[in-house]
Amino acid sequence: MLKEEVYDAFAELIYTVVMADGIVKEPEKSAIEKIVKNHPIAQLIQRYFDSNQKDVSIAQSFLHAFEVCKENGPDTEYPFLIHLVEEISKVSEGLDGEEDGLLTEFVRNFKRKFTSN
């Protein structure tokens, strides 16, 4: 599997987290830019924002990212990608209780399956 597929799955996940409230706020944009500066995922995240795709749920994005990573197997990028999702979710105001619970469960399961943290 190409690393770009892993990056794309996480770019979609980040997009759905940020777009949970329907708009991208400046703190979200700044956090993304700061964390992904000079990283290949930055272009993929921007592509999602440019597309204005609105029909992907957070649950679908979590499942997709998890499945792509299962197919990919162990990867040294996973801790960075999980950190990115966690940091973006901290500044994103659009997550409701259910979505925040899904995010917490995703991160917990992901760490248990793919990292030593």
Q: What is the pLDDT of residues 10-32, one digit of tens each?
A: 999 988 888 877 777 888 888 88
* CA atoms of 26 and 8, how far apart (whole Å): 22
Rg (CA), the chain: 13
Contacts of 57 (CB under 8 A, 6+ apart): 16
pLDDT band of residue 92 (cuts 50, 70, 90) is confident
* Residue type, position 63, single letter: L
How is the chain split into domains, by residue range?
3-114
The answer to whether the beta carbons of residues 14 and 46 sit under 8 Å apart is no
pLDDT of residue 116: 65
User: Measuring CA to CA, which residue among 110, 109, 19, 83 is closest to residue 57?
Assistant: 19
pLDDT tens digits for range 50-62: 887 767 788 899 8
Mean pLDDT of 4-9: 94
Mean pLDDT of 60-75: 92
* CA atoms of 96 and 68, how far apart (whole Å): 25
More confident residue, 51 or 95: 51
